[in-house]
Structures are given as structure tokens and as C-alpha cells.
Amino acid sequence: MSLDDPVWLPLRQAKAAFLAALFDRHQSISTDAPAALPSSQHCAVRTEVEALISSLEELDDELKDVQREIQQVRDSLFQRKAAAIMSLQPIAKLPPEIIRKIVVHVVEGPRDYRQIMHLLQVSKLWRDVVLDISALFTEAHWGKWPLALVELWCSRAGPRSLKLYADDRMLRRMSGAHGRPCRELLKKRAVQVGNFEFSCYGQWDPDASRLFDLRMPSLQCLTLIIFDREGSVCIRFENMPMLRILRLEMATPEIPAPLTSVTHLHYENYLHALQRDMVQIFSKLPQLQHLSLHLHLWAEPPDIQAITRPHNALQSLISLEVKWSIPHNFTSRLPPLSPLNLSSLSNLQTIVLHDDCEGMESTPLFQSLV
């Protein structure tokens, strides 16, 4: 900023006008007076004028100092702005396909909601790229988020299959008259659900059965975790015609008609429940090819003979994997597998037995190609 800048021009003009007026005043005193001023008065006026001029010059110097300081501040701001722009240039210039790879690498799956939200706020380009990755929006938080956000999140998934987690919190949200909006949205999105996990660790809620009355034509994987013995759900083939994988943890669902599409079963329960479920569950899966068992033996079964009664319910079975948790005072370290009637399974190709895992990761104890 120079001294000829318009900001300082009025001040300089005022200074010049003041000096001119002062000079004119001095001239008028000198010419219009009837007699010359005494030398003593003349010296006093001259001293006063010189003092005023000196004050104006000092003020001018101060203004110049202020001007230099302002210019320094302005230069510093310009430098910081340029540095900020330069630091953003690499992000701004990244092509969308590179941004997409970065996002996919950084986000740890569709449930990494916080990271997805952060990436949406980097810039408009990044927001557009993130919103275009439909795989990130397949798992909305139904139990916690506002329904408007759930609907928006699911809509971003496009035609992709959704994964639905239902727990006690979601059941409370969809129960009663106030739960009608949630039930309507769930009914709308049920046709798109491809993976459904239902968990009930506390007391059984009768409203849970409503979830299984929904028609889910795209459902391929169903997980049931029910620790309340009073809890039971009904799995109907007409509601889940595409179901391939069934995971049961302490759960014994009702299956009125055979589920002919199920080929994989992951079963975790107590040993004494195996005999019962051989009739209620295994016999309703005629096309079962892969069976994974995790058996808990916390005490001696009351009737080992009844439990070991064989059944012919797994004629299509190709592979069998068995894990077990056995207390130290149990008489046998191997679970009785006679209920499976292995000798009659003509299609069985692979058997994998894991060492006593006791709730931890286990290693294969025995693997056989039959």
C-alpha cells in the first residue's frame, strides 16, 4: 500500500489545506495590518507555525508506521492463504477413482459410521464420491438413528442387498402405536434385505415374531441368537425362498415346512439339545450340504443313550465341522456324534474336529477326507 493510496488521500489533502490556510492567515496579518507587528509578536507567530508544522510531520510519520504494519499483516495473511491453497491442491486434484480407493481402504466396513461421516465433510468432490459408493450404505443403525436418516442411508445403497440387525432396542422402537412408522419403513425395505441378524440376550419380547412375518424374498443369510428358552420364532419358506445360510445360536425356531434352499447350517447349542433339534430343525433341511456344530457340554447329559439315538436326516451332507466346549470333569473328551449317524451319510466328504475350545479360538484336532 503506497502513500498515494485513496485511503490516505483525504488526510494529505486536509494537511495541505491547513498549511495553505495558515500561510494565507500569515500573509493577511502581514499585508492588511496598519502597521508591522513588533518583532516579539512576529517571532511568537513564527514559532507557533513551526510547532504546528512539526506536529503534522510527526503525525505523518506515525501514519506511515501504521501503514507499514498494516502492509506486513496483509503480506502475512497472503502468505498463509497461499500456503493453505497449496496444501489443498493435491486433494482437490485427485481423480475420483483414486479417492474411491482411499475411501474403501480407510473405511472398515459399512458399520464404520463415524469414518464415513468424516469423509463426507472433506470437500464436495469427496462427498460426491463417498455417496456414490453404494456398498457403504447397506447397514443402517435401525435401533438408534432417526427414521429419516435410516431411510436416507438405505436409499444410498441403491439396488444392493441390505444387512439388518435387530436387537432389543429395535424391538422397543417398533412396538406399540408409536412404532408404526418404524414398522412401515421396515416393511418397505424388507424386500431388499439380504442378511438378517436377530439377537435377544434378555427377556423374550413377543413383538419379535412380527419381524419374521415380513416377506424377505432376497434374504440369503439368517442369524438367530436367542438365550431366553421361552423365545421362539417361526421360519416360513414362503417368506424366505432364497435363504441359503442359517445360523442358530441357542435358538430353536419353528420350521413348519422344509426349507429346501438352505445348504449351510451353523449350529451352536448344548449337547442335550442336539437330539431335539435333529427332529425339529435338521430334518427340515433336506438340501443341507455343510454343517458346522459348536456343542457345549457343561455337565453330564441326563440320558446319554437317548441323545445318541441316530437319525437319518443329513443325507445330502458333504462337509461336517465340529467344535465343542467340555468341562474338565466330563468322562469323555470327545462329544458323542452318533446322533448324526455318520455311517449312513454316503455323500460326506470332509470331517473336521476341533480341540476343546472353551469359548476361545480352536485349532483343528482331526481332519479327514472320507
At 49-107, the pLDDT tens digits run 777 788 788 888 888 888 888 999 999 998 888 777 666 666 667 888 988 999 989 88
Give per-residue pLDDT as tens, 149-191: 999 999 999 999 999 988 888 888 888 888 899 989 999 999 9
- Provide the percentage of residues in the chain whose pLDDT is more than 90: 26
Residue 306 has φ and ψ, to the nearest 5°, of -65, -35
Confidence of residue 109 (pLDDT cuts 50, 70, 90): confident
Q: Which residues sit opposite 289 in a β-bridge?
A: none
State the chain's mean pLDDT as an integer.
78
pLDDT at 170: 85
pLDDT at 258: 92
Among 78-87, 211-220, 325-334, the least confident range: 325-334
Asked whether the predicted pLDDT for residue 244 surpasses 90, the reply is: yes
Give per-residue pLDDT as tens, 283-298: 889 999 999 988 887 6
Confidence of residue 246 (pLDDT cuts 50, 70, 90): very high
Question: Is the pLDDT higher at 217 or at 359?
Answer: 217
pLDDT at 205: 76
Confidence of residue 28 (pLDDT cuts 50, 70, 90): low
Among 146-150, 160-164, 250-254, the least confident range: 250-254
Asked whether the predicted pLDDT for residue 38 surpasses 70, the reply is: no
Confidence of residue 47 (pLDDT cuts 50, 70, 90): confident
Give per-residue pLDDT as tens, 4-24: 566 566 666 666 666 666 666
- Taking the domains of the chain in order of start, what are their residue ranges? 9-92, 94-137, 139-369
Q: Which long-range contacts (CB under 8 A, 24 or more apart) does 342-347 make?
A: 344/310, 344/312, 344/315, 345/314, 345/315, 345/317, 346/315, 347/315, 347/316, 347/317, 347/318
Confidence of residue 366 (pLDDT cuts 50, 70, 90): very low
Asked whether the predicted pLDDT for residue 1 surpasses 70, the reply is: no
pLDDT at 328: 56
